[in-house]
């Protein structure tokens, strides 16, 4: 399928709600309202991963803004607290409620075939946002999100340029085990640093949470000592912020004694970058609500949609972060 790449600017504008009028204007056009909340209201079940990180909060806010009552939606929201069984049960519940469409940010890639088939059998379209699934793409109408592998490559290219052929001992704080971002960010980074003197001495999941990152980093510091670690690759800012706490508690200077490269570019991460405690951040844009809402409307109107809709990411050095931090919406 042709990749459709959308400018970050579009996602940013959308996230600021500037594009909402465009969508709201077309409310009800072909909407398969089931009459539950009035014939033009679209009832959408949204199965969110949970509330594990700052990124997730921004994503949830963007989705709730886009799927608002004034935009013609009746949103049924479920946050699964990072529990895959609970998330699948929530989707089954949406099917039983006979919603018009289901949106999922799947915690992990595997285990979705059965419930997606049940949604298809019930004639309820599924749109994936953010993370994706390993199930056949016949089982969902479209996916909108970020190119996680590219984010990993961008982080790895920075590390390769920064450390190159200097022997460098790196530890990795992995995202949720089995999730698309954890799998792809690892693969992209490994590809980008192949042939350099960067050696991955350890890698463990911190489940995308600040506490998880802190606990895992404390373990790495116990095992290798401050002098035994040169670089931390964190799959998201929340785990990087936890690692900063652990490094400081060990009496070392994050960003100096141990460098850190991370992904997301949420406010707290960008502040740590400005403060010199993180060295480089690759953005992962959470403002997907408007694009997802557009896809739901198009699918319900029977229009052809792209199977994959990618949103562009950018990256930030400490200097670049200082320039933009006050103007960023998340």
Contact residues: ligand GZL, CB under 6 A: 52-53, 55-56, 130-131, 146, 181, 208, 236, 238, 263-264, 284
The entry of ligand GZL, Zn ion, none near residue 23 (CB within 5 to 8 angstroms by kind) is Zn ion
Q: Which residue is nearest to ligand GZL (CB)?
A: 55
Least distance in Å: CB of 44 to Zn ion?
Answer: 14
Q: How far apart are CA 95 and CA 118, in angstroms?
A: 8
From 15-23, 84-92, 150-158, 266-274, give the range in contact with Zn ion by CB under 5 A.
15-23
Does 294 engage in binding with Zn ion (CB under 5 A)?
Answer: yes
DSSP per residue, 142-181: EEEEE-HHHHHHHHHHHHHHHHTTS-EEEEEEE-STT-HH
Q: Identify which of 123, 40, 106, 119 has the alpha carbon closest to the alpha carbon of residue 74.
A: 40
> To 10 degrees, what angle do helices 237-249 and 210-224 make?
40
The entry of ligand GZL, Zn ion, none near residue 149 (CB within 5 to 8 angstroms by kind) is none
Q: Report the residue number, 146 or 159, with the smaller CB distance to ligand GZL.
A: 146
Q: How far apart are CA 62 and CA 66, in angstroms?
A: 6
Asked if 55 and 286 count as a contact pair (C-beta separation under 8 A), the reply is yes
Q: Report the residue number, 132 or 293, with the smaller CB distance to ligand GZL.
A: 132
Does 15 engage in binding with Zn ion (CB under 5 A)?
Answer: no
Q: Report the residue number, 52 or 65, with the smaller CB distance to ligand GZL.
A: 52
The entry of Zn ion, ligand GZL, none near residue 181 (CB within 5 to 8 angstroms by kind) is ligand GZL
The entry of ligand GZL, Zn ion, none near residue 292 (CB within 5 to 8 angstroms by kind) is none
Give the CA count within 13 Å in the CB-facing half-sphere of 275: 11
Q: How far apart are CA 223 and CA 17, in angstroms?
A: 48
Provide Rg for the chain, Cα atoms.
Answer: 20
Q: Which residue is nearest to Zn ion (CB)?
A: 23
The entry of Zn ion, ligand GZL, none near residue 55 (CB within 5 to 8 angstroms by kind) is ligand GZL
Q: How far apart are CA 82 and CA 6, in angstroms?
A: 28
Q: How far apart are CA 55 and CA 208, in angstroms?
A: 10
Q: Report the residue number, 144 or 170, with the smaller CB distance to ligand GZL.
A: 144
- Chain contacts with Zn ion (rule: CB under 5 A): 19, 23, 290, 294
């Amino acid at each position: 399928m042709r990749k459709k790449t959308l400018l970050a600017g579009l996602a940013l504008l959308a996230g600021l709600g500037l594009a909402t009028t465009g969508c709201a204007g077309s409310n009800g056009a072909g909407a398969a309202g089931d009459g539950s909340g009035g014939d033009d209201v679209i009832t959408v079940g949204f199965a969110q991963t949970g509330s594990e990180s700052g990124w997730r909060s921004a994503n949830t806010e963007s989705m709730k803004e886009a799927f608002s009552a004034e935009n013609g939606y009746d949103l049924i929201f479920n946050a699964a607290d990072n529990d895959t069984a609970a998330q699948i049960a929530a989707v089954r519940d949406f099917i039983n409620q006979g919603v018009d469409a289901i949106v999922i940010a799947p915690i992990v890639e595997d285990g979705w075939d059965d419930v997606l088939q049940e949604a298809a059998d019930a004639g309820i379209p599924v749109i994936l946002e953010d993370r994706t699934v390993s199930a056949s793409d016949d089982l969902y109408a479209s996916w909108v999100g970020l190119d996680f592998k590219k984010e990993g490559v961008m982080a790895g290219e920075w590390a390769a340029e920064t450390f190159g052929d200097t022997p460098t001992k790196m530890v990795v704080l992995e995202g949720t085990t089995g999730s698309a971002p954890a799998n792809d960010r690892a693969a992209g980074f490994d590809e980008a640093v192949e042939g350099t003197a960067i050696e991955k001495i350890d890698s463990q999941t911190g489940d995308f949470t600040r506490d998880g990152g802190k606990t895992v980093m404390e373990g790495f510091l116990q095992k290798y000592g401050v002098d035994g670690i040169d670089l931390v690759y964190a799959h998201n800012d929340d785990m990087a912020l936890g690692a900063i706490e652990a490094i400081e508690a060990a009496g070392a200077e994050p960003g100096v004694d141990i460098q850190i490269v991370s992904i997301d570019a949420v406010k707290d991460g960008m502040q740590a970058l400005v403060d010199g405690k993180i060295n480089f951040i690759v953005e992962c844009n959470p403002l997907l609500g408007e694009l997802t809402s557009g896809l739901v409307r198009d699918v319900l109107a029977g229009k052809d949609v792209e199977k994959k809709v990618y949103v562009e990411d950018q990256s930030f050095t400490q200097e670049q972060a200082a320039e933009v931090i006050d103007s960023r919406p998340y």
